[in-house]
Amino acid sequence: MLHFSVMENALYYRLALTMVPGISSKLANALIELFGDAEAVFKTATKDFDPDLGISETQILAIQSFLPNEAIDKELAFLEKHQIKALFIKDKDYPQRLLHIDDPPLLLFSKGPANLNAKRIISVVGTRNNSEYGKQVTEKIIRELPNEDILIISGLALGIDGIAHRAALTNGIPTLGVLAHGLDEIYPTQHQALAKEMSLQGGLLTDFRKNSVPNKYHFPRRNRIVAGMADATIVIESGIKSGSLITADLALDYNRTLFAVPGRISDQKSAGCNKLIRYSKAYMYINTVDFLREMKWWTENYSVAKQQDLFFEPTTDQITLLALFKTKSILSLDELQYAATMTSSQLANALLALEMQYLIRSLPGNRYTIRI
């Protein structure tokens, strides 16, 4: 049985409002806007509910008969035991970017020191079944980012998500995992150690209470947070039918900037990314400097030297092209094709790799120039 002091706690009523059967998050948010806080919602007489909200008598009765409720006691005890912070939609620490999406969560549960309102927030999403190319590109993108007041977000899934989280931790960049379940478990189980490290150096976030099992209906709800919290979303390896494309569509709906990493036209793992680029839904992610400039994050203090991968080992084809550029700083595609004596496919792959390493850049008229 609750003590009166606990019953008067604001979080008690806020939790309760998210648990009332039949009350959607949109309706709960509308009630908060009308009454100011959750406590007032529960203490309002039936006659004072605005019919224009579209709330039925059944829903009003559900609200007024919900308290007291033992489930709220258990949830509060769980949050306290595991040092989980509950962020209400009107709190200053609540992710402010989410206030501009259609259906912001009324209450979020956060664990870890990550700044959810960092100056620059990037979501990185992609396939669960990545290739070595996808892994290398993900690690390279994050390694080359400036780490001043930046936050990397992903969904803690296998594949690109996990690679992005690990790369961020390796490079001293805070990273946030958004979950499609409560904080009483970690899914997938393979990422339990990763999640523990993130909760110390980054964070975990969800709008699901404990005992919320991950199911297919929860992931789109999770994806709206991944897309809504970010200034930019980068898609790395995505099939035509993929959850990461749901996140991409949400990012576009929220007027966020969308990037996609191109892949080979024959690679089904990149078919979704190539489609986003083809139909001008996403900018092509080529290198970090172009990305930063597109986002208006570029400063001259950002070292171009950081772009160049210290662990980059050029292939024979790439070495051949770099040698050609030393004889002439600007070369056309035809000149490169003639001088390099390699197939069109080999030439295209080598040029793309050198662009990704920020060693060359393309110019109008199918021409290329060296950067070093």
CA distance 67 to 48: 19
Q: Does domain 110-301 have CATH number 3.40.190.10?
A: no
Across 104-133, average pLDDT? 96
C-alpha distances out from residue 312 to 140, 167, 177, Å: 10, 16, 29
CB atoms within 10 A of CB 257: 18
Provide, rounded to the nearest whole percent, the portion of the chain with pLDDT above 70: 94
Provide mean pLDDT across the span 229-248. 94
Alpha helices in 112-260 (DSSP H): 132-143, 160-170, 192-201, 218-228, 243-253
CATH fold of 308-370, please? Answer: Arc Repressor Mutant, subunit A (1.10.10)
Q: What are 332-361's pLDDT values in tens digits?
A: 999 999 899 899 889 988 998 888 777 888
Q: For residue 302, what pLDDT is reported?
A: 62
Residues, the chain: 372
CA–CA distances in Å: residue 109 to residues 50, 119, 298: 30, 21, 33
Residue of higher predicted confidence among 296 and 53 = 296
The answer, yes or no, to whether residue 14 has pLDDT greater than 70, is yes
**How do the domains of the chain map onto residue ranges?**
4-80, 110-301, 308-370
Confidence band for 77, pLDDT divided at 50, 70 and 90:
very high
Contacting residues for 231 by C-beta, under 8 A, at least 6 apart: 97, 120, 121, 122, 256, 257, 295
- What pLDDT, on the 0 to 100 scale, is given for residue 312? 62
Q: What is the pLDDT of residue 303?
A: 54
More confident call, 222 vs 7: 222
Does position 309 have pLDDT exceeding 60, yes or no? no
Task: Inform me whether the pLDDT recorded for 372 exceeds 60.
Answer: no
Whether the per-residue pLDDT at 281 is higher than 70: the answer is: yes
Task: Evaluate if residue 67 carries a pLDDT over 70.
Answer: yes
Residue range 167-189: mean pLDDT, rounded:
96
Q: Are 335 and 266 in contact (CB under 8 A)?
A: no
pLDDT class of 7 with cuts at 50, 70, 90: very low
